[in-house]
A and B are shown apart, each in its own frame.
Chain A
């Protein structure tokens, strides 16, 4: 039944069907893994925040290191003005990271391998950043599309390109994460299928590949969460410090 490498991305209902009006909001396996990731983050960081020893133990160190890691990432890319958005970017980074990492467990479900999830996150970021930009700079935010130091003849073209690139941000942000997760998991599934179909004689090579791919995918899981968060910071930087 599970020979199709895309089968792992199937969403199915867990428990009863819940409907609000015409809209189906039933609890699915995707919802389950979102909730698991959320709970895991909350448990880990709550444990880490509870202890207040001067010399931290492992779990306290973990939470404090991730705190300073994200904090440094934000201040490096978006400056001091981005401080109020720290909690959001931290939650975003941790949510994506934990969803990616839970996806690496065999027979689990990767929340971030669904375009709708990543797109909602990216669209929320895009709209939020645009609102912040207009609130901070008013109509001056439109200067973002007019880079300084460009010859006037080229300006119409540049403005069009800038607008297109700005509008494609949520798509590139969401597709990057979604495609990376889906491709990686599909590859692993394909190689896993090879191991089974080639059997005891020829299965060792794809098994080795599978092991190597697992390492690579764990790296990708971290990297994509990092990229997602840092791109959010960069977009936020555009909205906060308008210098194009």
Chain B
């Protein structure tokens, strides 16, 4: 039906031009083979349209779609892997920062402990030293107290010995000691 309409329409609109065609010399306007051209155009274009639309174009569309979906899938996989690796990286960073924190803490606590120990040890040593110093001072005090008498005794002994050696006479120690005591007293007074 449609074809007939086209035929009639074409015939109608070009009837007038066609008459002048034979004199004009344009082979396009010679209607001798118009129907042949319309007929073969319809057949070849019809076949082309049917085969393209039924067989070839769906295949091409299929190809394009499968490629698209495959690419999308690959992109998705790549995205997943990317996010996974990013997570891994974050975990790794976290582990490293944790380890750093831990190391710092350990270091700090060790430092504190060492300082504490050091302080204790120092206190202990200082107190020991203090007591030792006290002892020494006490000893020195004792010595200071007892030294003049001892010095007196020593002086008496030595004086007695010296006198004996010098003049060969044994002298009564009490005499000597009296003199020494006198001398010591004099020195003390000075």
User: Which A residues have a C-beta under 8 Å from some C-beta of B?
Assistant: 4, 6-7, 9-11, 13, 23-28, 30-31, 34-35, 37-38, 41-42, 45-46, 48-52, 54, 56, 60, 63-64, 67-68, 86-88, 90-91, 94-95, 111, 113-117, 119-121, 123-124, 127, 171, 178, 182
Contacts and interface: CB of A to CB of B under 8 A. Distances in A.
A5 to B, nearest CB: 10
A208 B47 CA distance: 40
Contacts of A117: 37-38, 41
Given A6-B27, A87-B49, A113-B28, A42 B56 contact: yes
Interface stretch (B2-10, B99-107, B136-144, B175-183): B2-10
Given A48-B60, A64-B63, A88 B37 contact: no
Nearest to B39: A25
Interface in B124-145: none
9 contacts: A6-B25, A11-B27, A28-B36, A30-B40, A68-B64, A87-B52, A94-B52, A95-B48, A120-B37
B85 interface: no
Contacts of A54: 67, 70
B154 interface: no
Contact of B40 (A34, A121, A123): A34
B49 A88 contact: yes
Contact of A6 (B13, B14, B26, B52): B26
Given A10-B27, A41-B52, A45-B56, A24 B33 contact: yes
Contacts of B48: 38, 41-42, 91, 94-95
B33 A28 contact: yes
Contact of B53 (A46, A64, A88, A182): A88
Contacts of B32: 11, 24
B59 A37 contact: no
B68 to A, nearest CB: 11
Interface residues of B, number: 44
Given A11-B32, A67-B57, 15 more contacts: A24-B35, A25-B39, A25-B40, A27-B36, A31-B40, A31-B44, A38-B45, A42-B51, A45-B57, A49-B63, A60-B63, A91-B45, A91-B52, A120-B6, A123-B9
Contacts of B28: 9, 113-116, 178, 182
Contact of A35 (B42, B44, B56): B44
A172 to B, nearest CB: 13
B164 interface: no
A111 B44 CA distance: 12
Contacts of B39: 23, 25
B34 interface: yes
Nearest to B57: A87
